[in-house]
Amino acid sequence: MPRPRRNLTLKLPDEFIALCRQDGVTPEIVLRGFIADLCEIQSYVAAPRADGYASNGSDERSMAWDYYERVGYPWWNK
């Protein structure tokens, strides 16, 4: 049985909005991509995910995890 989705309201800094605008990409796409890379969510062309989450590739998945681990998130509450 699938788990319920969680919605989050987040105020994004102007700098992030400006960066996305400069590069012609929406903040939603950037955040979805990072989340998908970090969580290794793959969406195949033959069977795309309905929620829009899709990893950007194996290198990106590795770099997202490296960032997450380097910041120390896995150990913050241990």
Domain of 37, in residue numbers: 21-71
- Residues 61/53, Cβ–Cβ less than 8 Å: no
Tally of domains within the chain: 1
Residue 31 lies in a domain: yes
The pLDDT-based confidence of 5 (bands split at 50, 70, 90) is confident
Separation between Cα atoms, residue 50 and residue 45, nearest integer Å? 12
pTM (2 d.p.) = 0.86
Whether residue 7 lies inside any domain: the answer is: no
Q: Is the pLDDT of residue 1 over 70?
A: no
Distances (CA, A) of 37 to 11, 15, 31: 22, 22, 10
pLDDT, the chain, mean:
92
Tell me the mean pLDDT in the region 4-29.
Answer: 94
What are the CA-CA distances from residue 26 to residues 4, 40, 58, 69, 77 (Å)? 25, 21, 22, 26, 32
Does 67 fall in a domain? yes
Summarised one tens digit per residue, pLDDT across range 39-57 is 999 888 878 888 889 999 9
